[in-house]
Structure 1
């Protein structure tokens, strides 16, 4: 598979005027929606199309969120860009491992985690609501097992490992060191002056990275579709 051309991606990235940044993210959101239609009409396996369409929907939502207020607090921008970066890692690793079906199966494991988390708050698991949650957990495990997946144990793969699989570990480490200071209540985020933590330079890093990883994912999806042409 050909790598997306970095120069081509760079041509799409805007970071000059606030109005231009907002328009750039709106353009990504619209392109993601348009690409969903292309995916839906392709000949790819239904599981693959399901993942692509849902990932494009997520890109569109996050980019729309940023575009609606590009001057919102920087930690909000950081959250959205971090999510776009991690989504990009998810897709890259799926491509490398060809783990389309496993990724869909992980949705059931995620729901089990959520339900088990809710159950942990219950003092009595013999109540009707608790029993309903337990029954749903068992149903999800049975469905996964019938489809050849064991979701009884959590997948311990983290985003650094996905970055290694995708061949971008150094990029991950650098970006993680930067954005982690903005998405957690770190001493930097709490104690630094507004001028320091919400600088022009920091915002531009998030604006550029958000566009970069969004366009990269869109290009990768289109490139993946080209395999069937």
Structure 2
């Protein structure tokens, strides 16, 4: 799948405790890289986005590590999120024009969330709140225009990005597994013992390491970071 190096060269097998320790180390490396970019900030908008992506990576590594003995769906969510972050990192590093689209997606997401709140919470008794939410939506649209960001009507699905960063096989293979474990699929609900086996758990945790390392290496090479 992700084949920047041989899998056996860069990830740890062993007990769950061994893997938990490795995930903690990867989280520290992620934070170290984050701090390096902050300390050497060039004002580049790509650097700003990479900092935010590293913060998210650290959080999802922690989710995998702290839930290593717990619900398989939580581990699957953490691993899938690390994969999606890797796709986004590689996309932005390979094409800086993607930064504006990615930034604009945040505005689109925010608008859609506010629209969802309006739909779910609308009533005549909260007219003041409704006006405040609509004002916020308009402010977000003005902000998008101010910074000349492209209007993104729908966030770009991960599957639409993978071909350009060489991760199509990874997506087609692993995403099938993630979708069955993250969502309450018939398999997860009716065959929980088959869904949560040592083999499945090992695959998820190995790939959590793999995605994290690939992201650290990709960003590290881009910003000229060398591990201490």
Deviation, structure 1 residue 155: 3.0
CA displacement, residues 194-222 of structure 1 (integer Å, 9 cap, x when unaligned): 2x221111011101111111111111111
Cα distance in 2 for partners of 1:164, 1:59 equals 22
In the other structure, the counterpart of 1:218 is 216
Aligned residues: 222
Within a 5 Å distance, the mapping from 1:126-141 to structure 2 comes to: 127-141=127-141
Deviation, structure 1 residue 35: 0.8
SS in 2 for 1:52: helix
How well do the aligned residues superpose, as a CA RMSD in angstroms? Answer: 2.1
Cα distance in 2 for partners of 1:70, 1:154 equals 37
Q: 1:74·1:203 contact (CA, 8 Å) conserved in 2?
A: yes
In the other structure, the counterpart of 1:166 is 165
In the other structure, the counterpart of 2:202 is 204
Deviates more, 1:115-124 or 1:94-103: 94-103
Deviation, structure 1 residue 193: 4.5
Q: Tell me whether 1:33 sits opposite 2:42 in the alignment.
A: no
Cα distance in 1 for partners of 2:16, 2:3 equals 26
TM-score, with structure 1 as normaliser:
0.89
> Runs of 4+ in structure 1 displaced over 6 angstroms?
none
Deviation, structure 1 residue 156: 5.1
Within a 5 Å distance, the mapping from 1:70-149 to structure 2 comes to: 70-98=68-96, 99-121=98-120, 122-124=122-124, 127-149=127-149
Cα distance in 1 for partners of 2:69, 2:148 equals 47
Cα distance in 2 for partners of 1:19, 1:103 equals 36
Q: 2:118·2:130 contact (CA, 8 Å) conserved in 1?
A: yes
Cα distance in 1 for partners of 2:211, 2:108 equals 26
CA displacement, residues 17-60 of structure 1 (integer Å, 9 cap, x when unaligned): 11101001100111111111111123543422221111111111
Deviation, structure 1 residue 93: 1.6
Within a 5 Å distance, the mapping from 1:46-65 to structure 2 comes to: 46-65=44-63
In the other structure, the counterpart of 1:11 is 9
Q: 1:33·1:60 contact (CA, 8 Å) conserved in 2?
A: yes
In the alignment, structure 2 segments of 5+ residues that lack a partner are none
Q: 2:64·2:208 contact (CA, 8 Å) conserved in 1?
A: no
Cα distance in 2 for partners of 1:179, 1:76 equals 11
SS in 2 for 1:6: coil
TM-score, with structure 2 as normaliser:
0.89
